[in-house]
Structure 1
Amino acid sequence: MTQQQLAERVGIKFQQIQKYETGMNRVSASRLWDIAESLAVPVAYFFEGMSEMADSEMDAVASDVEARAPVDILADKEALELVRSYYAIPENQRRRLFELARVLSDVA
Structure 2
Amino acid sequence: MPHHVDVHVGKRIRHRRWLVGMTQQQLAESVGIKFQQIQKYETGANRVSASRLWDIAASMEVDVGFFFEGVEAGQAAADAAAASPTKMPARGGPADLLGDKEALDLVRSYYAIPENQRRRLFDLARVLSDVA
Give the shorter-chain TM-score range. Answer: 0.3 to 0.5
TM-score, with structure 1 as normaliser: 0.46
Q: Relative contact order, CA 8 A, sep 6+: which one is greater?
A: 2
TM-score, with structure 2 as normaliser: 0.38
